[in-house]
Amino acid sequence: MNQFKLITIALIALICSACQVISPLFVNYNGVRRDVARWINNQQLLSMQQKRSLAQLSKAQQKLYRIEQIPEDQKLAIATQNQIALHCARLHLTENKISQLQSHIFGKEKKDAILQQYAQEFPQLKLAATTVQCE
């Protein structure tokens, strides 16, 4: 009986570790910083849809890391991408998880300043439902 329990536990561990190896295939991390992609992938309790939402938000928010260097002619496109990504993230994630991602992207010490500058200097948009495309 103990051998059966041991084999069962070993099989469960093997299956669970195989899921971790396979999971990146369901989330497109192209355009996501490697450290952020690793952080997203290590969020064990999130579904693949939630991880895709975090990846989409990360791609958009990473552009704000050097916010002071963004030219005026790019602000509308970046704001649009961020608004869409935030909308999609809020459909599947808590504000706490979004905040954790932003802290990972910007660093805890810079996060508030970057987001405040974004709110002040970038256009605030009302998006039509047809323009929103979640990953």
pLDDT tens figures, 101-127: 999 999 999 999 999 999 999 999 888
Looking at residues 2-14, what average pLDDT do you find?
A: 60
Instruction: Please count the other Cβ atoms lying within 10 Å of the Cβ belonging to residue 54.
Output: 29
**Domain boundaries in the chain?**
29-131
Q: What is the DSSP letter of 32?
A: S
pLDDT tens figures, 30-74: 999 999 999 999 999 999 999 999 999 999 999 999 999 999 999
**47 three-state secondary structure:** coil
- pTM beyond 0.75: the answer is yes
Task: Categorize the per-residue pLDDT at 10 as very low, low, confident or very high, splitting at 50, 70 and 90.
Answer: low
